Structure 1
Amino acid sequence: MKRRLAALTCALTLCAGLALPASAANFTDVPTGAWYESAVKESVEQGWMTGVSDTLFSPNATVTRSTVAMVLWRMEGEPTPVWRGHFPDVQINSWYGIAADWACEARIINGTDKGTFSDGVVTRQELAVMLSRYDTYKGRTMAEGALNLYSDANQVASWAKEGMSHAIGMGWMEGDGGKLSPKSTTTRAQLAVILQRMHTQAMG
């Protein structure tokens, strides 16, 4: 079973991101000097993210639940645990199947109230919760960011306050114009920057 999972891991990694470019310079849609250029470069070189093709990164594309699962799974070293089949709508041979199953087993990403994975876009507060759970999984202490400094703090869902507070406290996420925008989505460029910040802090 482990041998089968290892083979699937290799194949699915290639399917999910195609060939890995050597650096952000290969992407025609990542301008030199862009605020996210170094983050994209590091995310690709570290193997956390891949381009949508050999020459495109799609920095403005919206991040999905499957992308978050895949990214965190890669950051963790692409573990190959025993397949549990936590989600009825995620198959082992889907490009993010192993990652989603691992993320659920690690209590990083939960299913919906119907017990499904229900892949789709993630809001900023949902992403913050997933990232904070990953830190908990790694045994790190939760940070406390001052959400009340933002004018829309009351829009953060009760279940997301701890996660959002941690993401703000760690400096992974920042407000824009004095707002948290918890229900807004995140782009691939923004995710790359967040991953770079997480890695920098983890490395001390």
Structure 2
Amino acid sequence: MNVKKRAVSLACALCLLAGPALAAGESGYADIEGGEWFAPAVAEMTEKGIMTGVADGLFAPYEAITRATVVTVLWRMAGAPDAAVEVPFTDAVGTWYDTAAAWGKGTGIATGYGDGSFGGGDLVTREQLATFLYRYAYAMGQPVAEGALGLFSDAGSISPWAEDAMRHAVGAGILQGTTAGTVEPQGIANRAALAVTLQRMLTPAAG
């Protein structure tokens, strides 16, 4: 093999080792350049058909997520199965997320409110998102983790009903704390964070 061919072979090998990179402007969305911390997750969730853009070629990464969005992406992760329940959520019938909401209710992933409504437009906090993910793990027969919440300075602000879910999310590495050492259970989750969270759920833990 001559020097030129050897150099070409070496370059090809290095490309294979490095893997594909998301270059700026190649995310598929006009509002994501490609270098953002969440860009690879958005690209992967889009490719898998789990998340889609909002409108006009935008992903809206910093837009707050709703209950309808969360139950829909989890439904897609489960393979978008047909779903029907005897008594559906009163406010979900005929909506774009009605099948996902029915599936969520049937599996116990979405419980709704006391008046029989789902509240699809309600925003989702980090502890509420953790609860959806915790119930999803149970419904799918996945292992449930036990993380240490005491590591976070604001652990005391976690609602009692969300403690087990937050332990699971933290222990599984699905939700991570901030650089300030907080877990921000009452903070509103956005679409960028949701994409990263879903990517972590789909990435096998090393070890």
CA deviations on 1:32-91 (whole Å, 9 max, x unpaired) are 211011000000000100001251000000010000010001001110023534211111
| 2:27 alignment partner, SS class | helix
Residue among 36, 50, 57 paired with 1:55? 57
Q: Does structure 1 retain, via aligned residues, the 8 Å contact 2:109–2:132? A: yes
Question: Residue 25 of structure 1 aligns to a residue in which SS?
Answer: coil
Distance 2:92 2:205 in 1: 31
Name the residue aligned to 2:204: 201
The offset of 1:203, in angstroms, is 11
Structure 2 residue 29 is matched with structure 1 residue 27 = yes
The residue number in structure 1 matching 2:188 is 185
Kept after mapping to 2: 8 A contact 1:43/1:192 = yes
| Pairing of 1:77-88 with structure 2 (within 5 A) | 77-88=79-90
CA shift in 2, pair 1:203/1:83, >3 Å = farther
Q: Is the 8 Å Cα contact of residues 147 and 170 (structure 2) preserved in structure 1?
A: yes
Segments of 4+ in structure 1 off by > 4 A?
A: none
User: Which residue is 2:74 aligned to?
Assistant: 72
Between the aligned partners of 1:52 and 1:41, the Cα distance in structure 2 is 14
Amino acid corresponding to residue 105 of structure 2 in structure 1:
C
Higher mean alpha-carbon deviation, 185-194 vs 113-122, is at 113-122
Q: Cα–Cα, structure 1 residues 83 and 113, in superposed 2: closer, same or farther, change >3 Å?
A: closer
Secondary structure in 1 matching 2:176: coil
Q: Provide the residue aligned with 2:11 in structure 1.
A: none
Task: Give 1:111's aligned residue.
Answer: 112
The one-letter code of the counterpart of 2:132 is M
Return 5+ residue gaps in structure 1 as ranges: 1-22
Deviation of residue 164 (structure 1)? 0.5
8 A contact 1:83–1:98 mirrored in 2: no
Identity across aligned pairs (percent)? Answer: 43
The alignment yields a C-alpha RMSD, in angstroms, of 1.8
Of 145, 148, 165, the match for 2:147: 145
Q: Residues of 1 paired with 2:56 and 2:168: CA distance?
A: 35
Q: TM-score, normalised by structure 1?
A: 0.84
Q: Deviations over 1:147-192 (max 9, x none)?
A: 0111111111111000000000010111111111101111100000
| Greater CA drift, 184-193 or 82-91 | 82-91
1:127 aligns with 2:129: yes
Is the contact made by 2:85 and 2:105 (CA closer than 8 Å) also made in structure 1?
A: no
8 A Cα contact 1:90 1:97, kept in partner: yes
